[in-house]
């Protein structure tokens, strides 16, 4: 079956500035379906929350799945699943129905899928039970369940018991979850799926991705497992890789601050097999708010499997204090023994005149969540006649905060360098004169939801 699933997940959904998170890569592969005939049961949710686009997308995805299995078993889409493999359809709402037995007719399978109508509650336990009853325990075929659902269990007993019984009989269980109107219990989906669960569970954020998920699950079925696997994962520059855990299969290494490499000699060449690899990253840099973890991730193997990984997102909460300008770099100076004088070469730091550094703080009131702010600071010096002299202008981007409501944001340490030779008091010779300044602040949101209603005219 080649690579049948790939996944990338993180262990938390939110961290603070400078916080760390763990990233887990998962991969599943299985032998060639032509030389290893497989019985597959598609278990399809037709509860009330599937009404409309979700049901249509599920039907389209299941039809695509059936077509790919048809072609992979005998080299052509001839309407018959070959090489001893079969597919069965089970659908469920309040109760489950065996809409077909394990058969080879593509037309009959698609008719069963396309006749489904949404309505009722969600009984996962009966769905697993009816699917389990389709398998012949005396058959030597490999056995696979593909459970699709968009909701939590609202009818029947605990499905985990039936799923565990199926897995105990050697049945591989994949679970596809849709974040639909009914909501899903991701912990339950992971409990039902085969281990490692991260390699056998896929979550679709919306119905538009369902067909692609069904297609990816079936696309590589004609390939004989995977050999000479190389995965290179580069995370966003907002993070640095700090540690690796030993992968369950293969070897892993750190390439640089943001890149890791995972290599596996062979996976799933004799039986369905999953592998996982985990590494730790720490947040660095000024990025905050919702941050995408991936920069890029590549996959390669000897069989040419086409593999994609999702890109999880994490909320980086940097609180209500922002420091847009970093502190000057520290310079090391060593004084040996009882030396009375020290000569220090400051390099390219030219001290042409004395002066001062003015450091300003300002509080932005009632800043709404997930909106960046553009802040401008204009500094003037005044003389005894209240005349204004320009002393500096800065524009800064203030990162979005991730609070649940509007809040005050304190922007600290906005620095201006003010040489002594710009002192407006020309009558007094010397240093440390009193000087007077005025500042103007301008701020506005960068992000907004405005779209011109006449944009296409």
Estimate the share of the chain in helix, then strand, then coil, as percent rounded to the nearest 5: 20, 40, 45
Banded pLDDT at 48 (limits 50, 70, 90)? very high
The CATH class of the 2-317 domain is: alpha beta
pLDDT at 352: 47
pLDDT for position 304? 80
> Which of 126-130, 192-196, 271-275, 331-335 has the least mean pLDDT?
331-335
**How many alpha carbons lie under 13 Å from residue 384 in its C-beta half-sphere?**
5
How far is CA 319 from its chain centroid?
A: 22
Least trusted range by pLDDT, from 135-139, 180-184, 376-380: 180-184
How far is it, in rounded angstroms, from Cα 50 to Cα 38?
A: 29
Single out the residue of 258, 260, 324, 259 nearest to residue 288, CA to CA: 324
Q: Which fold has domain 321-331+348-445?
A: Immunoglobulin-like (2.60.40)
Q: Which pLDDT band, with edges at 50, 70 and 90, does 240 fall under?
A: very high
pLDDT at 324 over 70: no
The reported pLDDT for the residue numbered 351 is: 47
The pLDDT, as a whole number, for residue 457 is: 47
Looking at the chain, the whole-number percentage of residues with pLDDT higher than 70 is: 87
- pLDDT at res. 308: 87
For residue 47, pLDDT beyond 60: yes
CA distance 85 to 88: 11
Q: At what angle do helices 210-219 and 53-74 cross, to 10 degrees?
A: 20
Q: Which two tokens stand for residue 122?
A: 């969600």
Tell me what the mean pLDDT of segment 127-137 comes to. Answer: 96
Instruction: Tell me the three state secondary structure of residue 86.
Output: strand
Query: Tens of pLDDT along 79-104?
Result: 999 889 999 999 999 999 999 999 99
The reported pTM is 0.51
Least confident of 58-62, 375-379, 417-421: 417-421
Return the DSSP state at 123: -
Between the two ends of the chain, the Cα-to-Cα distance in Å is 51
| Location of each CATH 2.60.40 domain in the chain | 321-331+348-445
User: What is the pLDDT averaged over residues 347-362?
Assistant: 71
36 — pLDDT class (breaks 50, 70, 90) = confident
Helices (H), strands (E): how many in the chain? Answer: 7, 23
Tell me the per-residue pLDDT of 156-166, one tens digit each, with 9 for 90 and over: 999 999 999 99
Q: Do the Cβ atoms of 53 and 291 come closer than 8 Å?
A: no
The pLDDT score that the predictor gives to residue 369 is 87
Nearest to 394 by CA among 375, 409, 372: 375
Please state, as a whole number, how many other Cβ atoms lie within 10 Å of the Cβ of residue 387: 10
For residue 118, the tally of other CB atoms under 10 A from its CB is 17
**What share of the chain in percent tops pLDDT 90?**
50
pLDDT in tens, 405-452: 888 888 888 999 888 778 777 666 555 678 899 999 999 999 887 777
How high is the pLDDT of residue 5?
A: 80
In 10 A of CB 219, how many CB atoms? 20
pLDDT value of residue 6? 87
Distance set, CA 124 to CA 89, 90, 165, 175, 179 (Å): 15, 11, 14, 12, 16
pLDDT of 321 reads 62
Q: Residues 198-219: what's their mean pLDDT?
A: 82
Write down the pLDDT at residue 161. Answer: 95
Q: Cα dihedral angle (133, 134, 139, 145), rounded to 10 degrees?
A: -100
């Amino acid at each position: 079956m080649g690579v049948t699933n790939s996944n990338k997940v993180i262990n938390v959904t939110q961290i603070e500035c400078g916080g760390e998170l763990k990233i887990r890569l998962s991969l599943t592969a299985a032998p060639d379906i032509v030389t290893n005939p497989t019985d597959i049961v598609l278990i399809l949710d037709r509860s009330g929350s599937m009404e409309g686009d979700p049901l249509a997308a599920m039907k389209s995805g299941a039809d695509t799945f059936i077509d790919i299995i048809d072609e992979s078993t005998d080299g052509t889409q001839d309407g018959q699943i070959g090489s001893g493999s079969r597919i069965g359809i089970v659908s469920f709402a309040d109760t489950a129905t065996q809409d077909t037995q394990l058969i080879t007719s593509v037309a009959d399978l698609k008719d069963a899928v396309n006749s489904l109508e949404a309505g009722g509650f969600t009984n996962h336990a009966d769905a697993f039970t009816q699917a389990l009853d389709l398998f012949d325990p005396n058959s030597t075929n490999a056995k696979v369940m593909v459970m699709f659902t968009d909701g939590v269990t609202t009818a029947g007993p605990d499905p985990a018991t039936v799923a565990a019984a199926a897995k105990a009989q050697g049945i591989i269980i994949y679970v596809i979850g849709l974040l639909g109107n009914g909501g899903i219990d991701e912990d339950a989906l992971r409990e039902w799926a085969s281990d490692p669960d991260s390699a056998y569970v896929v979550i679709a954020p919306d119905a538009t991705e369902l067909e692609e998920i069904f297609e990816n699950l079936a696309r590589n079925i004609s390939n004989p497992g995977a050999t000479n696997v190389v995965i290179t994962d580069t995370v966003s520059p907002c993070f640095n890789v700090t540690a690796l855990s030993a992968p369950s299969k293969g070897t892993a290494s750190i390439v640089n601050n943001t890149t890791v490499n995972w290599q596996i000699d062979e996976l799933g060449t004799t039986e369905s097999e999953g592998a996982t690899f985990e590494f730790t990253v720490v947040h660095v840099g000024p990025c905050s708010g919702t941050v995408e973890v991936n920069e890029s991730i590549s996959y390669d193997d000897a069989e040419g499997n086409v593999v994609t990984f999702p890109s999880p997102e994490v909320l980086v909460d940097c609180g209500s204090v922002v420091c847009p300008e970093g502190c000057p770099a520290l310079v090391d100076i060593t004084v040996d023994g009882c030396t009375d004088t020290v000569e220090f070469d400051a390099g390219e730091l030219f001290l042409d005149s004395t002066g001062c550094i003015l450091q300003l703080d300002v509080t932005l009131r009632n800043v709404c969540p997930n909106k960046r702010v553009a802040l401008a600071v204009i500094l003037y010096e005044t003389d005894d006649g209240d005349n204004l002299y320009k002393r500096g202008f800065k524009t800064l981007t203030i990162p979005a905060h991730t609070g649940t409501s509007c809040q005050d944001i304190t922007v600290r340490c906005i620095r201006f360098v003010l040489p002594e030779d710009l002192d407006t008091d020309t009558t007094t010779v010397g240093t440390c004169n009193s000087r007077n300044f005025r500042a103007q602040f301008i701020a506005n949101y960068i992000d907004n939801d405005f779209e011109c209603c006449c944009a296409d005219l």
